[in-house]
Amino acid sequence: MNTHSVIECVEGFKASRLDNTRKIFIYLPPGYKEHVDQRYPVLYMHAGQRAFGSSTAGNETWHVDQAADQLIDQGLMDGLIIVGIAHVRPVTHNEFYHFIAPAREAVSVGCSGLDYEHFIIHELKPFIDEHYRTLPDKDNTGLLGSSAAALSTFHIGTRHPEIFGKLIMLSPFFVDVQLDETSESRLQEEDMYLLPEGRAPIQMWMDIGDAEGLFLPSQVRNVVHQMLELGYKPGEDIAFLEQPDAGHQEADWGERVQLPLLYMFGRIGNPISLELMGRDVIGLKGGMSGHINALLHYDSGFSMSLLEGEYHSDHPDVLEVRPNGELVPVKMGHAVVTLTVGELTASRMYTVVEELSGHVTVCMSAEVPFQDMYDDSIYGGMGMKLLHTGGGDYEGCFEVPRDSGFRFRFTRGFRQFETDADGKALPNRVFRAHDNLSLHYKIQSWGSTAAKAGNRR
């Protein structure tokens, strides 16, 4: 028996309306070649060039094949075919945008999402169903994507629930956010998604890390609750995870991709513990509210955040808790909140202070090596523009959401990222904005595409 999975590659697959070609990578589970009478569910994955294989500097991968192999080996999931669709990087049109491009991109980048949708439904899926032993019905067909590819998954899947019954969206790019000191929230937000008109018979997984910079958990949670208002049932039709300390890059997505695979195609097992995460100090005034991230853990290794629950505050005159986990301060003081799920309970102390702002100030300076001509500006994470102040010095101050986490590399322009002195890729710089910060960095050298950063859509 073949005990190993196999990854095949189809070169030059044509997308007629997009007028381009791309590679298609097909993961076949262990035993596929031997069990000739067995048919398998299929998961289509956007940005498939990053789905499988070894990671190299600037070309990180998810290792989805390894995650699937492990779940199958552990008996937690049966065989599954995974189709990785290589992404064609946008020049004038972005295939992940259906209806709108961010205002900052729209001047030069249009939307070709409808043509990309046509390619998957009318050209790629028929080819896969013809050449591989698939279960072609909607209940055995899924879409997976992260960031802008997750936005594409949302639009394609909700537009065609008769074809795709399982939608997996990691860190979905539902809202384009830019820093804006003139607004009350210090942010400029633009919705990128279009809600369906009603509930369809599909399952959805949405998640977000709490260290993704301006990709905020509240943005994804808001879309989840909008879907609940359309009639989707939490834990049955839709699952949500707010992953502590996870960033916006392939390494983070790959570390948790086994969770939606289990939810959609495997056996999640039985719940064994509860954990209350998130901020435990909130303010009566100032805009810093709070929301409990209640993590429910299972004996299979599966975890998800509860969208609603039975909360109890021992001092409701100090702090109330709504069923969705939202904390409502009443007066200054302390309160213990307890969540009960079946036979499981978890408790945590919360403190209400008089005032706590919803944003903090991060001042950042960077020193670059000597060069004949210095750039007028360089950039940190999420559009943090540092201005040249003389010599090799750059400075900037930014107001960002309190508790937001950032992982980034400095850049001096499109894909011109910092490197070490030998031109090799560096790990991400990391900070968490719990309070006002003053940060200083030294940049060793500048690189190019070979050392591009992990933050991307």
Domain layout of the chain by residue ranges:
6-267, 274-355, 359-451
**Encoding tokens for residue 240?**
């949500």
Q: Given this model, what pLDDT does residue 227 score?
A: 97
Q: State the Cα–Cα distance between residues 355 and 336, nearest whole angstrom.
A: 20
Q: Given this model, what pLDDT does residue 126 score?
A: 98
Q: State the Cα–Cα distance between residues 203 and 158, nearest whole angstrom.
A: 10
Quick one: which of 247, 287, 253 has its CA closest to 381? Answer: 247
Q: State the Cα–Cα distance between residues 6 and 347, nearest whole angstrom.
A: 46
Q: Given this model, what pLDDT does residue 58 score?
A: 53
CA 9 remoteness from chain centre:
26
390, β-bridge pairs: 393
Q: State the Cα–Cα distance between residues 115 and 113, nearest whole angstrom.
A: 5
Q: State the Cα–Cα distance between residues 117 and 163, nearest whole angstrom.
A: 12
Q: Given this model, what pLDDT does residue 388 score?
A: 96
Burial class (CB in 10 A: 0-12, 13-18, 19+), 189: middle
Looking at residue 266, the DSSP 8-state letter turns out to be B
Q: Class for domain 359-451, per CATH?
A: mainly beta
**Encoding tokens for residue 52?**
């499988």
CA 162 remoteness from chain centre:
25
Query: Are domains 6-267 and 274-355 of this chain identical in fold?
Result: no
Q: Given this model, what pLDDT does residue 456 score?
A: 40
* Residue type at position 101: A
Q: State the Cα–Cα distance between residues 362 and 436, nearest whole angstrom.
A: 6
Q: Given this model, what pLDDT does residue 76 score?
A: 97
Looking at residue 234, the DSSP 8-state letter turns out to be B
Looking at residue 120, the DSSP 8-state letter turns out to be I
From residue 364, give the alpha-carbon distance in Å to each of 68, 97, 381.
Answer: 41, 33, 11
Q: Which secondary-structure segment (H or E) carries 117?
A: helix 113-119
* Residue type at position 437: L
Quick one: which of 328, 349, 326, 325 has its CA closest to 337? Answer: 349
Beta-strand pair 333-341/344-355: antiparallel
Q: Which residues, 6 or more positions from 372, have their beta carbon under 8 angstroms from its beta carbon?
A: none
Burial class (CB in 10 A: 0-12, 13-18, 19+), 19: exposed
Contact by Cβ (8 Å): 360, 434: yes
Q: Which secondary-structure segment (H or E) carries 283?
A: strand 281-285
Sign of the Cα torsion 278, 280, 281, 284 reads positive
Q: State the Cα–Cα distance between residues 337 and 324, nearest whole angstrom.
A: 13
Give the 3-state secondary structure of residue 270. Answer: coil
Q: Look up the CATH number of domain 6-267.
A: 3.40.50.1820
pLDDT digits (tens), the chain, 457 positions: 457 999 999 999 999 999 999 999 999 999 999 999 999 999 999 999 999 976 554 567 899 999 999 999 999 999 999 999 999 988 889 999 999 989 888 778 899 999 999 999 999 999 999 999 999 999 999 999 999 999 999 999 999 999 999 999 999 999 999 887 777 777 888 999 999 999 999 999 999 999 999 999 999 999 999 999 999 999 899 999 999 999 998 989 999 999 999 999 999 999 999 999 999 999 999 988 899 999 999 999 999 999 999 999 999 999 999 999 999 999 999 999 999 999 999 999 999 999 999 999 999 999 999 888 899 999 998 889 999 999 999 999 999 999 999 998 999 876 688 999 988 888 889 999 999 999 999 999 987 544 433 344 4
Contact by Cβ (8 Å): 49, 147: no
Q: Given this model, what pLDDT does residue 451 score?
A: 40
Q: Given this model, what pLDDT does residue 453 score?
A: 39
Beta-strand pair 203-209/166-170: parallel
358, β-bridge pairs: none
**Encoding tokens for residue 442?**
């030294």
Contact by Cβ (8 Å): 423, 451: yes
Positions of E strands within 58-111 = 81-85, 93-94, 110-111
Task: Determine the straight-line distance between the first and last CA of the chain, rounded to whole angstroms.
Answer: 40
Quick one: which of 94, 114, 178, 231 has its CA closest to 382? Answer: 178
**Encoding tokens for residue 70?**
């492990």
**Encoding tokens for residue 142?**
């899924």
Q: Look up the CATH number of domain 274-355.
A: 2.60.40.1080
Q: Given this model, what pLDDT does residue 454 score?
A: 39
